[in-house]
Amino acid sequence: MHVGDRKRPPLSPKEAWISDGRQVLHFRPTRWDRWCQQLEITVGELLPDQPVPLLKKRLEISREEALKLWAEKRKEGWQTTEPQWQPPQIPNAERRSALGRKTV
C-alpha cells in the first residue's frame, strides 16, 4: 500500500480549501496539541465580478467537527480547490501559542 493511498485524515494540521462553485470554505488549523485540536473555518461567497470571494463568516471548530463538515460537503459534490484568498498571517507569538509551544 502506498502512503498516498490512505483513506484516513492526516494526523498533522493542514490548510485546505473546498468549493461548490458558489461558496468557498477555508479550513485552517489554529490550535494543535495533544489535548486540543481546533480549526478555523472561513466561509466566502464567490461573486462573478470580483477576483476574491466575499468573506461571510468565520468559526472555530474541533478537528472531529471539521472532518464531519468536510465529508458532508464532499458528499454534496463540493470539490477541493486552489486557495481563493491570502489569509492573514498569525504573529509569531500567537503562532507558537497556537502550535502549543512556549513563548520566551
Task: Give the residue extent of every domain in the chain.
Answer: 12-86
pLDDT at 22: 93
Distance between CA atoms of residues 89 and 45, nearest Å: 21
Q: Is the predicted pLDDT of residue 21 greater than 70, yes or no?
A: yes
Distance between CA atoms of residues 16 and 27, nearest Å: 5
pLDDT at 87: 62
Q: What is the pLDDT of residues 46-104, one digit of tens each?
A: 999 888 888 899 999 999 999 999 999 999 999 999 888 876 666 665 555 555 555 44
Q: What is the pLDDT of residues 28-56, one digit of tens each?
A: 998 877 778 899 999 999 999 888 888 89
